[in-house]
Amino acid sequence: MFLKASTLQLFRPKETESLNHFLDLVQACNDHSDTTRLRYVFDGGTFNDYTSTEGLKQAFADLQQHWNEGDFDRDVILSTDKEMPLLSLVHTDPFEYTSEDNASFSFHSGRPLLLPEGHFSYEGFHYFFVTAINAYKARYAAVYDTELETLVSFASFYGEVEIDEEITMPEIIEVTPVQLTERIGKVMSPGLFNPLEIPPAIYWFNYWNEDQVRAVGEEKIRQADFEVIEKLPDGGYILVVQKENFNSHNTDHLEKLAALYDYFDLYTLQQTSA
């Protein structure tokens, strides 16, 4: 069972002029391949053809005006197609109370990301992942589906509070062995420490910057049981749990991930930092 959407998120320090980095990311998508070319801009009301960075800047200027007037339900979303986009891209809401900017890709095809069922070869998606990181000058990045994110965030949050009867238990939590959810959810809320200095979690694809690498220990990373461990020129690392599609309903896949959580013990590192 695969979820119908996967997410690639990119984070960097919050800056007043963060839009320029987002525009670089858009251009990188358009240069990467015809498949990832962003053709439409949805402004919260209508689809418009994406024609230029100037047009996109105007769309964001109009959006900010809506936000200034208290209309926070609108957003600017770029997509590869109107009806059945392979991917869409959203820039962070600058009014969010966080210390990070982020850009988020959603893949909507109803299929897993990688071949044979999906759209990308492993090599092709790996290259796209690195291209996006470099274009956005991201300091942290991850790829996951909603069910994997639920396993991490739900278990980590509710592991420290009593679950009452009013809380709806997500299906993925109900069907996953408790010992796996406890191990995978053993992280703190990223609002309690600096997630650009300490890795907030471990997902399917990961990019940890040089500060995170230093905090965790480079030799420890190099000896970890990721299928892919790749050092980038900036000192950060690409870390991939496995080259095949990650299925959150596959116990073997979850065990691989849980073993990495056991090995790194991010919770203790985050707790010390906090």
Q: Residue 259 pLDDT more than 70?
A: yes
Which tens digits make up the pLDDT trace of 154-205? 866 654 444 455 667 889 999 999 999 999 989 998 889 999 999 999 999 9
pLDDT in tens, 26-66: 999 999 999 999 999 998 788 999 999 999 999 888 888 87
What the block records as the tokens of 95 is 């009014």
Of 19-33, 62-76, 114-128, give the lowest mean pLDDT range: 62-76
Residue 91's pLDDT band (boundaries 50, 70, 90)? confident
Mean pLDDT to the nearest integer, 73-100: 82
Residue 179 in domain: yes
Q: Do 237 and 167 share a structural domain?
A: yes
Single pTM value for the model: 0.93
- Asked if 130 and 13 sit in the same domain, the reply is yes
Domain stops at, among 109, 138, 167: 138
**Residue 83: half-sphere exposure toward Cβ, Cα within 13 Å:** 0
Q: What is the pLDDT of residue 124?
A: 97
| 211, pLDDT greater than 90 | yes
Residue 1 included in any domain: no
Say yes or no: 117 and 198 in one domain. no
Residues 38, 11 share a domain: yes
Q: What is the percent of the chain with per-residue pLDDT over 70, rounded to a whole number?
A: 92
- Does one domain contain both 10 and 134? yes
Which residue among 138, 173, 188 closes a domain?
138
What's the confidence (pLDDT) of residue 158? Answer: 52
Same domain, 180 and 106: no
Query: How many domains does the chain contain in total?
Result: 2
Is the predicted pLDDT of residue 243 greater than 70, yes or no? yes
Residue that terminates a domain, selected from 138, 170, 193: 138
| One domain, residues 170 and 127 | no
Structural domain contains residue 175: yes
Question: Is residue 154 located within the same domain as residue 262?
Answer: yes
Question: Is 36 within the bounds of a domain?
Answer: yes
Q: How crowded is residue 65: how many other Cβ atoms within 10 Å of its Cβ? A: 11
8 vs 6: CA distance, rounded Å: 7
Domain that includes residue 219, residue range: 146-273
Provide long-range contacts, Cβ within 8 A and 24+ apart, for 95-99: 95/67, 98/14, 98/191, 99/13, 99/14, 99/194, 99/196
Mean pLDDT of 118-125: 96
Q: Can you read off the two tokens belonging to residue 227?
A: 């299928």
- In angstroms, rounded to a whole number, what is the distance separating the alpha carbons of residues 235 and 171? 39
Same domain, yes or no: 131 and 223 = no
What is residue 1's predicted lDDT score, i.e. its pLDDT?
39
Collapsing DSSP to helix, strand or coil, 211 comes out as helix
- Does 21 share its domain with 53? yes
Given a cut of 80, is residue 256 above it in pLDDT?
A: yes
